Structure 1
Amino acid sequence: MTIRAVVFDLDGVIIDSEEVWEEVRRGYVAEFGRSFRPDTQDRMMGMSTGEWSTHLAEEVGVPRTPAQVADDVLGRMASRYRDDLPLIPGSVDAVRRIGARFPIALASSSARILIDQVLATAGLTDAFPVTLSTEEVPRGKPFPDVYLAAAEKLGLDPAVCAAVEDSSNGLRSAGAAGLAVIAVPHGVYPPAADALAMASLVVPSLGELSVEAIDRLR
């Protein structure tokens, strides 16, 4: 059995967005006189739009509906991405290089509006034949739904696909779906030890992920 496709996460793998997300969401809740709970940032990494907006509305206490919270925050994030996209150095070249060897897909917890904006700004709209947001599956990460859906759209068994992830919930999602897991740990928001243990390969950056290393995963 060999790897026949690679599925990428977006945030923390292609773009260094976690600090942007934290800055935007912290600033947003502060406008309503609220602040993050001790575990808010860790919990929201990998959550779908509906999940994190519900958390901010119902647990953090922002006096808006989850749908309103989502619209407010996503609008601010899309504006940031248009003006100053936080691409990780070497990530675009790595996507192109890996995509020349394998069919590739994108499985992100970001909303569709942000996925499309990132790919347009980065010049990667044509790179991925399959893109999925966790908005488009029943459950977000750490559940396996988005990776199972990505493999299905690629027409492949999850066992012959590899996933490139950085966060605890993303690693757990890919592992639960049965993909070979490649971890690219984020320096500021490192994954939990149990999640990192699910990885068959750990690399310091996407730019250092070789097609030869992917070939050897299975």
Structure 2
Amino acid sequence: MTERRIHDWSPSAVVFDCDGTLVDSESHWQEARLRVLHRHRLVPAPRFADRAAGLHYTACGRLMAEEAGKPELAGELADQLLGEFRRLAAAAPVVMPGALALVRLLAGRLPLAVASNCPADVVETSLAGAGLLRRFGSVVVPGDGLRPKPAPDLYETAARRCGVDPADALAVEDSLTGIDAAREAGLRVVGVGPRPPAPDAGRADLWVGSLADPGLLELVGRWLSDR
């Protein structure tokens, strides 16, 4: 059972996703996608939002264009998507339930990093607005040879910057795209949000409804007491 990989173990570092995990920015991405699609009078295929969740904005722009039958618009849609998101995220950052308390509990006890598919300025603005940025030793985003999730690059690099082997680090993720990236990098993973049906549920080592989950906090307390 995958949960044994979490309960019978203790991490040496924790790497958090940002969007939808620490900051409630997925609603901003959804609104940004709707605004761009409306501007171009495009209608996406059913369940588009599920397929877009966790994608790098360039991949999302490409998906939007392809599903609307206008692949030539991929670059334009991606640029507009990022612009809309930046405006929304700067205006109304919202911390996910339990995120601030959990990060405060871990900060100073374990090395912490963020691995996000968003550009660095977007991540740092969102985290600063939520009062979280200074708690993290490193923010790792695509670029300089690092591929976006679902490639493992961001999580591998974040663990190394924390000074640990990826096998000794824990990832905290809300999307299956990010979970796959973390697992491929060798990290163990806590999935956050509604538990998906099998077999997707097995892609994370543990699922919690939110970062305020009492079981998660108890587990973290045990990890810290063992150090």
Displaced runs of 4 or more, over 6 A: none
Aligned mates of 1:49, 1:155 — CA distance in 2: 29
The Cα shift of 1:63 comes to 8.0
Q: Does 1:205 align with 2:213?
A: no
Change (3 A) 1:118 1:136: farther
**AA of the residue aligned to 1:194:** P
Match of 1:121 among 126, 129, 143: 129
Q: CA RMSD in A?
A: 2.4
The Cα shift of 1:20 comes to 2.3
Change (3 A) 1:215 1:182: farther
Residue pairs, 1:187-202, within 5 angstroms? 187=194, 191=196, 193-202=198-207
Q: Deviations over 1:48-79 (max 9, x none)?
A: 22211222234435687544333322222122
Is the partner of 1:206 in helix, strand or coil? coil
Q: TM-score, normalised to structure 2's length?
A: 0.82
Match of 2:94 among 86, 95, 112: 86
Query: Contact conserved, 1:26 with 1:36, CA < 8 A, in 2?
Result: no
Aligned mates of 2:85, 2:224 — CA distance in 1: 36
1:110 is aligned to 118
2:78 is aligned to 70
Change (3 A) 1:133 1:124: same
Q: TM-score, normalised to structure 1's length?
A: 0.85
Is the partner of 2:83 in helix, strand or coil? helix
Match of 1:151 among 141, 159, 181: 159
Q: Deviations over 1:99-135 (max 9, x none)?
A: 2321000011222231021022112221111111235
1:12 is aligned to 20
Residue pairs, 1:21-40, within 5 angstroms? 21-40=29-48
Aligned mates of 1:91, 1:177 — CA distance in 2: 23
* Aligned residues with identical type, % of pairs: 35
Q: Does 1:164 align with 2:172?
A: yes
Aligned mates of 2:151, 2:51 — CA distance in 1: 13
The Cα shift of 1:138 comes to 4.1
Query: Contact conserved, 2:176 with 2:203, CA < 8 A, in 1?
Result: no
The Cα shift of 1:142 comes to 2.2
The Cα shift of 1:17 comes to 2.2
Aligned mates of 1:47, 1:86 — CA distance in 2: 20
Is the partner of 1:193 in helix, strand or coil? coil
Match of 2:142 among 134, 156, 162: 134
Change (3 A) 1:199 1:63: closer
Is the partner of 1:51 in helix, strand or coil? helix
Is the partner of 1:173 in helix, strand or coil? helix
Aligned mates of 1:192, 1:131 — CA distance in 2: 31
Size of the aligned set, in residue pairs, is 213
Aligned mates of 1:183, 1:213 — CA distance in 2: 19
Q: Which moved more, 1:76-85 or 1:129-138?
A: 129-138
Greater gyration radius: 2
Query: Contact conserved, 1:109 with 1:135, CA < 8 A, in 2?
Result: no
Query: Contact conserved, 1:74 with 1:114, CA < 8 A, in 2?
Result: no
Change (3 A) 1:67 1:192: farther
Query: Contact conserved, 1:29 with 1:62, CA < 8 A, in 2?
Result: no
Uncovered stretches (5+) of structure 1, i.e. residues with no partner: none
